[in-house]
Structure 1
């Protein structure tokens, strides 16, 4: 496509009566051509325009220069943008912004910072666009110190009061781990828009802040007081905050009602996005049935909606239903699965069909050329390992055409550990370090678990010390539990107890559970008793701890301790029966209310609370029946199993 023919096409389109080509001789004509080159994504046409600008002597025209710099950046050649910029005698702030933004678009963040530094050194006055762009750069590279520098520049120039600059700074602080500064900036803003509220909500969701106790209705009301209407992003962020929080499930239902009431998802192009958020929220709250109703009522169901529904069923243990949905997605609606769909359905395939199911998904991924996706390959490594085919997992890991990330290494290390191949796990871990990859918490847990199973105590302790001292990984409960398990399995119960005393946090049930397992293996009843007593304190709702502790002392004929444990169980049982009585009164009273209202109560509260209490009563009754049996003192163990499922069915 030549410059002449393009201009002829533009001329014909602009006027029906104008049929002859006009020579490109004005800046306005060249601007039109540059816009057309961007529309048609033609780098060649942009270069032809550049050549024409040079021949006509328009090189110092600021509008043409700005457009050229932006065009070259869009086409991925920022070096040509710099060439245009260097040819200019006078460089306005708009030209500087275009050049810096071009480097940012091409992810050349160091160059962007370099030109920003030159801009400051040459005394160019910064504007709101400059500061917002540089805040985005700090956000992308995760540099909090550089972000604070941009914040200081914003304060000095007064642009911190600009809502766009403030929103960019808030987003930077939120993504760089400075959520406290983000909140402070939000509170100090003289004027806020919907984007400001969205940034703060997204920050709460990303930070995992459990102190977000503001009522959802109150949050929305605060926005409306300022004359702002929540948009789809606001609601989706609030739904994310409701995910997995027992106390916030009602908030999720409130938001669902808000979406329906103001018809937020109707005609806005956001139905699928909000539908997926609702499905995810209900699925994480163990109400996949409600999520399914949302899914069935969606007019437009694309691959993302199907994937959200499949993932919801799989995460809630409804594996066969997830597979049925995966089949219906392709057969009934003709929707092709994407990479995320395959990752979601993989656990169901491995659980229902075993190794064959994983191979089928792997084969489908190869046919669709998805086998270079790192998330899918990581899931395949994990599933192959869990299905007993370590060779297939190793093949995906070593010969897959994907770029290995920390999860890839962790999955392979955990796979070796699962199969008791501790030496191979340590070898892969050392290879990861040699290639310059830094371990994270999950990697350390995987390799320590492998060392524990294989009895590699010295290697495991060496890895633990290097992780803490060299790689500055903070010891978590999971890491500490692995160390305790590793010491306990090797018979070093005293060292394990000493380590527990030096832990930087309170020992969790998993830590004392590791002590129990090691004590049973090595026949140390004293340590076993100590661990069980801590477990009873940490998990008073778990009757299995009472049963195990009672059995331990019954085997040594310490009936005084057995009676003490039984008495604790009787108190717990009395509380449960009292709770059940309250529920039965409530249900008896609801019989007198109209049927639609009763149905609403069943849908909102359901029979689960009652069944849960009954199940707890039966679990504690196991111990009581066993302890009160006539022959309990004549046996080494007085464990009696009650078939709770049969009683519940009646």
Structure 2
């Protein structure tokens, strides 16, 4: 029954749902609710509607009903429904059930109410491991990585999920070095017997890619092979992404080619993006055509890679055509990232006015990256007027961007508008905005070294004192 329900949703006319054929067993209804939650096809009936019909039949829910049902509330609009189901769980005496408690923490955090998630956790007399993992992950998802680490350190026991969630949390919050340090700690402590799995390693590989730490990435790849982990779609995609970001595109191609026919859209998109960032526009577009021929439907991420390839290759006509095909042929609505690629494409090709028209006609408000792309193109073409427009909007969106003030001051200087130069400089002093020193990461012998321009400058000055 469960397998059949999961494969294909049961019709609303099914006897088990008909009032004249009541089914007293909660197991059957739980199976129906779970099938609706896990459905991959559009369905007019929500899991909540199945629960309401269950109650209409007079069937009493059990401790499995609520965890299945709470999974269906995964965003802010469902918060009120989630609260109502919480009340139902309380009414039937299941608020002290470990499965229900963990599901409530997850539901409230997914709906954006961390305070209620923490309240549920604090009301648990002796939180079990899933409850600890759930509240820690809740903090990570909203960027409170310090709070997440506090919960991690307080945990009486940890499993691989605990370590994987914390490592992923650091990666999602930009703490790439911290993620690698925690992974090393996991290995040194033997992590309570918890061995890293493919989800742990995919987060570690993502950190290596973001840091450009190729030697670290190679070591992780060797560790995966030595541990006997199967390089499935998840790990294969992470390896492709890491090698591409670390500059080893040939190795990325090798991993991609050895993934076999099971590659999903994310694997294809990762390879396409890798080729694009390395300026291999022709190979990138050929791979996209191969992907479509294989029956894999591209998504928004795929088209970001394709359009980036057009930008790096200066392929204006092709870029416009792929942008058109996105919606018309594949039903992918352009996001702000795709508009940013088109603005960058036009700007680099010297079509600054066309780029400005795209910005002005966008269905969403341009962000910092859009204005930055327009600024880059207009500066390249020495279009001072468009540069001024872009910089003013950049400063309005990001008042602490020191580079934007300096560039705007330089633009006014080229135009001979010295009073404006003085005004911009005074504004920087008034807002206490200072130029951020440059920073570089270099990997030498498997060790990451960070260099700040301010530190290098001080060392040079001290040399001559």
- TM, length-normalised to structure 2: 0.78
Match of 2:230 among 359, 371, 386: 371
- C-alpha distance in 1 between matches for 2:50 and 2:100: 31
Judged with a 3 Å threshold, the aligned counterparts in structure 2 of structure 1 residues 409 and 280 are, in CA distance, closer, same or farther, namely same
Question: In the TM superposition, what whole-angstrom CA distance separates every residue of 1:140-162 from its partner, at most 9, and x where no partner exists?
Answer: 22444442699499669934996
Aligned to 1:263: 125
Aligned to 1:344: 203
Aligned to 1:147: 45
Output the aligned Cα RMSD.
4.3
Aligned to 2:392: 533
What is the deviation of 1:528? 1.0
Aligned to 1:450: 309
Judged with a 3 Å threshold, the aligned counterparts in structure 2 of structure 1 residues 536 and 190 are, in CA distance, closer, same or farther, namely closer
Once the two structures are superposed, the pairs formed by residues 64-79 of structure 1 within 5 Å of their partners are none
Aligned to 1:471: 330
- C-alpha distance in 1 between matches for 2:393 and 2:79: 40
Assess if the C-alpha contact under 8 Å between 2:208 and 2:217 holds in 1: yes
What is the deviation of 1:353? 8.3
Question: In the TM superposition, what whole-angstrom CA distance separates every residue of 1:88-128 from its partner, at most 9, and x where no partner exists?
Answer: xxxxxxxxxxxx44523xx4427x55xx8564899971436
Pairing 1:330–2:187 present: yes
Corresponding residue SS for 2:431: helix
Judged with a 3 Å threshold, the aligned counterparts in structure 2 of structure 1 residues 424 and 194 are, in CA distance, closer, same or farther, namely farther
Assess if the C-alpha contact under 8 Å between 2:352 and 2:377 holds in 1: yes
Assess if the C-alpha contact under 8 Å between 1:232 and 1:264 holds in 2: no
What is the deviation of 1:291? 4.0
Larger radius of gyration: 1
Judged with a 3 Å threshold, the aligned counterparts in structure 2 of structure 1 residues 495 and 155 are, in CA distance, closer, same or farther, namely same
Judged with a 3 Å threshold, the aligned counterparts in structure 2 of structure 1 residues 380 and 282 are, in CA distance, closer, same or farther, namely same
Match of 2:275 among 416, 421, 438: 416
Pairing 1:232–2:102 present: yes
Assess if the C-alpha contact under 8 Å between 1:136 and 1:168 holds in 2: no
Question: In the TM superposition, what whole-angstrom CA distance separates every residue of 1:576-600 from its partner, at most 9, and x where no partner exists?
Answer: xxxxxxxxxxxxxxxxxxxxxxxxx
Judged with a 3 Å threshold, the aligned counterparts in structure 2 of structure 1 residues 643 and 568 are, in CA distance, closer, same or farther, namely farther
- C-alpha distance in 2 between matches for 1:483 and 1:184: 40
Aligned to 2:242: 383
Aligned to 1:11: none
Aligned to 2:422: 563
Match of 1:275 among 111, 119, 132: 132
Match of 1:542 among 401, 405, 415: 401
Pairing 1:520–2:379 present: yes
Match of 1:297 among 154, 159, 166: 154
Assess if the C-alpha contact under 8 Å between 1:487 and 1:495 holds in 2: yes
Match of 1:127 among 23, 27, 30: 23
Which deviates further from its counterpart, 327-336 or 470-479?
327-336
Judged with a 3 Å threshold, the aligned counterparts in structure 2 of structure 1 residues 556 and 190 are, in CA distance, closer, same or farther, namely closer
- C-alpha distance in 2 between matches for 1:296 and 1:120: 48
Assess if the C-alpha contact under 8 Å between 2:33 and 2:47 holds in 1: no
Question: Which consecutive residues of structure 1, in runs of 5 or more, have no partner in the other structure?
Answer: 1-99, 199-222, 574-615, 621-640
Assess if the C-alpha contact under 8 Å between 2:48 and 2:69 holds in 1: no
What is the deviation of 1:386? 1.0
Once the two structures are superposed, the pairs formed by residues 28-47 of structure 1 within 5 Å of their partners are none
Assess if the C-alpha contact under 8 Å between 1:170 and 1:186 holds in 2: no
- C-alpha distance in 1 between matches for 2:276 and 2:33: 43
Question: Which consecutive residues of structure 2, in runs of 5 or more, have no partner in the other structure?
Answer: 437-452, 459-465
What is the deviation of 1:264? 3.6
Aligned to 2:445: none
- C-alpha distance in 2 between matches for 1:138 and 1:534: 46
Assess if the C-alpha contact under 8 Å between 2:348 and 2:380 holds in 1: yes
- C-alpha distance in 2 between matches for 1:313 and 1:173: 27
Pairing 1:310–2:310 present: no
Greater RCO (Cα-Cα under 8 Å, separation 6 or more): 2
Match of 2:4 among 99, 103, 123: 103
- TM, length-normalised to structure 1: 0.58
Assess if the C-alpha contact under 8 Å between 1:468 and 1:474 holds in 2: yes
Corresponding residue SS for 1:497: helix
Aligned length in residues: 436
Question: In the TM superposition, what whole-angstrom CA distance separates every residue of 1:443-495 from its partner, at most 9, and x where no partner exists?
Answer: 11111111111111111111111112222222211111111111111111121
Aligned to 1:606: none
Assess if the C-alpha contact under 8 Å between 1:240 and 1:277 holds in 2: no
- C-alpha distance in 1 between matches for 2:247 and 2:92: 50
Assess if the C-alpha contact under 8 Å between 1:516 and 1:528 holds in 2: yes
Corresponding residue SS for 2:262: coil
Judged with a 3 Å threshold, the aligned counterparts in structure 2 of structure 1 residues 285 and 336 are, in CA distance, closer, same or farther, namely same
Q: Which has the higher helix share?
A: 1
Match of 1:354 among 201, 213, 216: 213
- C-alpha distance in 1 between matches for 2:104 and 2:295: 40
